Amino acid sequence: MTTFGQRFASAIEARGPLCAGLDPHASLLAEWGLPDDVSGLERFALTAVEGLAPHVALVKPQSAFYERFGSRGVAVLERVIEAARAAGALVLLDVKRGDIGSTTQAYADAYLDPSSPLAADAITASPYLGFGSLEPMLDTARSYDAGVFVLALTSNKEGAEVQHARTEDGALVAGRMLDHLRALNAGAEPLGSFGAVIGATIGSLPESGAELDFAFNGPILAPGFGAQGGTVADIRRIFGDAVGAVTPSSSRDLLRKGPSLDAMRIEALRLNDELRS
Residue 65 · residue 24 · CB < 8 Å: yes
Q: Provide CB contacts within 8 A for 135, sequence distance 6+.
A: 104
Q: Angle at which helices 38-52 and 261-276 pack, to 10 degrees?
A: 50
The amino acid at 88: G
- Rounded to an integer, what distance in angstroms lies between the CA atom of residue 142 and that of residue 193? 8
- Rounded to an integer, what distance in angstroms lies between the CA atom of residue 38 and that of residue 117? 19
Residue 85 φ/ψ, nearest 5 degrees: -65, -40
Partnered with residue 125 across adjacent β-strands are 97, 150
- Rounded to an integer, what distance in angstroms lies between the CA atom of residue 42 and that of residue 80? 9
- Rounded to an integer, what distance in angstroms lies between the CA atom of residue 52 and that of residue 60? 11
Q: How would you label 59-84 residue by residue, b for 16+ Cβ within 10 Å and e otherwise? A: bbbbbebbeebeeebeebbeebbebb
The verdict on whether 96 is a catalytic residue reads yes
The amino acid at 122: A
| Choice among 60, 96, 157, 257 that is catalytic | 96
Q: Provide CB contacts within 8 A for 78, sequence distance 6+.
A: 117, 118
- Rounded to an integer, what distance in angstroms lies between the CA atom of residue 124 and that of residue 63? 11
Q: What amino acid positions are annotated as catalytic residues?
A: 96
